[in-house]
Structure 1
C-alpha cells in the first residue's frame, strides 16, 4: 500500500507553534522499553529546542496504576474518561494483547478516531487498534511474535515485517527500540532533520533506522519445528556468507536432492534457494554499509561477491539504491553538528481547561540548566 507522506495533521500542528499533545494508553503487561523509546525522544526534542514542542500524558482505563511486563508498576496521569485535548493517541502493548484490550478501550479508541486524532501503537498495541477496526487497509507493524495470530484475527490489516510503519494518520512500531526510530522520523518530519539528528546524538544512537528496515523474524517462528532440514540449510547459508556453498553441496549436507531442496524453498519460503541465499548476503551487506566503515569493495568481498560491479547491480535491484548512495546517506546523517543559539527559553506553563499538568513541563524545567538546552535552532 502506498504511504502518503507529503501532508498530514502533524505538519499543520507543528507549524502553528502550539505543542502537540500525545496520550499514551498503557495496556496491562505493556513493555516498558517501548514506552520509554517513544516518550524520551519527545523529552529530548523539547530540551534541544528550548521550548515545548510536545506534551504527553500516560493513561489507563480507570486511572489506576498498571504493571509493565517486567513487573514495575506505573501510575498514570489520568484515566481515559477525563476529556483531554489530544493530537495523537499511542497504544502501548506488550505481553498477551488479546487479553489486555477491553470493551472500554475499544470504545475510547473509536471515539478518538471520530475526533480525527492521529492513532499509533508500539509493540503489540497495534492489536488494540485492529480490534477497534481502526487499522483496516493500513500498513501496520507489530512485534514478530504476533504477526501470524494478528493476520489470522484481522485479515483486512496490511501487516508488514518492517520495524515501523507510517501510513497516512496511523503510525505503528514493532517494539523494543523501534519506537525510538519511529519517533525520530516523525520528529524529523515535524521540525527538521537537524533536531532528529541532535536527539540521536544525545542518546548515543549511531544510526536512525527508517521505514525500509525490517524485523529479523526467526525462521523457526515462521516454520515451527516441522521442517528441520530446511532450518539446517538456512543455518548453513547464514554461516557461510563470505564463501557461499554450492546448492548441490548444501543438499548433500542434509541428505536431500537438489530438486527436493528447491521444492522446500518454493513451498515454505516462496523463492528459490539461490534467491534466498542472495537475499541473506545483501541484507548483511546493507548492515555493514550502514554500521561500519568498510569500503564498498570490502563489503562486497565479505558478502561473497566476486566483483564490485556485480555486487552493485544486485544491491540496486534488491534495495532500489546503489551501495554508494546507501553509504553517503549514513555519512550525511553523521555530519550533523548541533550549534548553540539564542533560542527563546519561554514556554507555555498552563494547560487548557482542567487537564492534568503534563510531565513534559516538569522535564523541560529541569532541562533548562543543561548545556544542550536550546542548542538546536528550528527552521519552522
Structure 2
C-alpha cells in the first residue's frame, strides 16, 4: 500500500529539512524498486512559494484542493508543515482549520523547523511532546508554557510528528521508514545519502559546550551550564561558586583565564542573547522579554541591551520588522 505525504510550504520555509525529507522518501522508493511513498506539495493559494534562501517551489495543489481531498481517496496519511524564519507572521485561519480537520479524521500531522509554532497555534499540541529548533525554543516556551517542548531532533507522539529542522528531517523520515520496512532499507538509504548513522530522536541538537566554546576546564563548563539553565532567575555568584565547590574568588579567576571576562559579564551576555532571540521570534512586549531574561526593570534591560548591541530593544524589533518587509517585497517582485 502506497503511503501518501503532503508537504505544506509556508513562505520563507527552510529548504534543508524540506528537501532532506523528500530525498529520503525518493531514495527509499529507489532502493525498494517500487513506489512505497508518494508525495505532493501544497501552499495556501497554490502559487509559487519562496524559501528563506530565495529558491522558489511550485506547489501541486492549493489549500482549497487539499480540504476537498479530505473526503476522497487522496486523503493523505501524513501532512508535514514546512516553515522557517518569521513563522509568527503567518496567519491563515483556513490553514489552522484544515489542520484541525486532519486531526479529527486521524491523519498524521507534522512540523519541520519552526512549524511547531503553527501546530501549537492550531491547538494540536496540548498533552503532546514536541520538538523545535534550539534557536526557537525560548520564544516557543514563553508563548506556550503549557506545551511539553523538547530540544530533541524529533518527536513522535501518536499522530503528531515534529522535527527540529535541518538534517533532523532525514532522521525522522528514516525512523518512519524503519517502522515499515526495517533496518535493512534504512542502512541502504544511509549508504546512498553518504550518512554513516541514524541519529536517535533524543540526540542533542547543539554541539556540546566543550566543542561549541572551545573551553576545556570542567569547572568553567559546569558554571556555564548553570548559567544557561537559570536565565529567568539568575543565580548569584556565591550560589554558583557553592554549586561547583569553589570560592567566589576562584570562579572569578577561572573565568578571566578561560573566557577573558568576568562571570558576571558573561552571564549578562548570554541573558541578552536570549532576549535578542525572543525579540526576533516572538511578539512578547519588551517588558515581558526583560522579565523572562532576568532583568528587574525594562529600563535596566534597555540600558544593558544598548551597551551590547548599540540599539534599544524597540529599535532591534523595528529593524527586524523592516528587514522582513524588504524580503517579502523582493519575493513579490520576483513573482511578478
Q: Normalised by the shorter chain, which TM-score bucket? A: 0.5 to 0.7
What CA distance in whole angstroms lies between the structure 2 residues aligned with 1:134 and 1:194? 34
Q: Which residue number in structure 1 is paired with residue 115 of structure 2?
A: 125
What CA distance in whole angstroms lies between the structure 1 residues aligned with 2:143 and 2:206? 22
- SS of residue in 1 equivalent to 2:46: coil
- SS of residue in 1 equivalent to 2:166: coil
What are the within-5 Å matches in structure 2 for residues 62-141 of structure 1? 62-82=45-65, 83=69, 84-141=74-131
Q: Which residue number in structure 2 is paired with residue 239 of structure 1?
A: 215
Q: Which residue number in structure 2 is paired with residue 149 of structure 1?
A: 139
What are the within-5 Å matches in structure 2 for residues 178-217 of structure 1? 178-216=168-206
- SS of residue in 2 equivalent to 1:76: coil
Which of the pair is proportionally richer in helix? 2
- Contact map agreement 1:237 1:245 (CA 8 A) in 2: no
- Contact map agreement 1:37 1:177 (CA 8 A) in 2: yes
Give the gaps of 5 or more residues in structure 1.
Answer: 1-17, 220-233, 251-258, 267-271, 275-380
Change (3 A) 1:168 1:273: farther
What CA distance in whole angstroms lies between the structure 1 residues aligned with 2:95 and 2:86? 15
1:155 Cα offset (Å):
2.3
Q: Which residue number in structure 2 is paired with residue 282 of structure 1?
A: none
What CA distance in whole angstroms lies between the structure 2 residues aligned with 1:236 and 1:146? 18
- SS of residue in 2 equivalent to 1:206: coil
Aligned length: 228
What CA distance in whole angstroms lies between the structure 1 residues aligned with 2:84 and 2:101? 23
Change (3 A) 1:76 1:235: closer
What CA distance in whole angstroms lies between the structure 2 residues aligned with 1:34 and 1:235? 24
Do structure 1's residue 170 and structure 2's residue 160 form an aligned pair?
A: yes
1:153 Cα offset (Å):
1.7
Change (3 A) 1:190 1:149: same
Q: Which residue number in structure 2 is paired with residue 53 of structure 1?
A: 36
1:156 Cα offset (Å):
2.5
What CA distance in whole angstroms lies between the structure 1 residues aligned with 2:204 and 2:129? 14
- Contact map agreement 2:219 2:244 (CA 8 A) in 1: no
- SS of residue in 1 equivalent to 2:111: strand
What CA distance in whole angstroms lies between the structure 2 residues aligned with 1:29 and 1:63? 15
1:273 Cα offset (Å):
3.7
What CA distance in whole angstroms lies between the structure 2 residues aligned with 1:167 and 1:235? 32
What CA distance in whole angstroms lies between the structure 2 residues aligned with 1:29 and 1:46? 29
What CA distance in whole angstroms lies between the structure 1 residues aligned with 2:92 and 2:44? 9
What CA distance in whole angstroms lies between the structure 1 residues aligned with 2:50 and 2:212? 42
Give the gaps of 5 or more residues in structure 2.
Answer: 225-234, 246-336
Do structure 1's residue 264 and structure 2's residue 240 form an aligned pair?
A: yes
- SS of residue in 2 equivalent to 1:124: helix
- Contact map agreement 1:261 1:273 (CA 8 A) in 2: no
Q: Which residue number in structure 2 is paired with residue 33 of structure 1?
A: 16
1:104 Cα offset (Å):
1.7
Normalised by the size of structure 2, how large is the TM-score? 0.62
- Contact map agreement 2:46 2:59 (CA 8 A) in 1: yes
- SS of residue in 2 equivalent to 1:81: helix
Normalised by the size of structure 1, how large is the TM-score? 0.56
CA RMSD of aligned residues (A): 2.9
Question: Per-residue displacement from partner, 1:132-174 (whole Å, max 9, x unpaired)?
Answer: 0001121111111211111122223210011111112111110
1:261 Cα offset (Å):
4.7
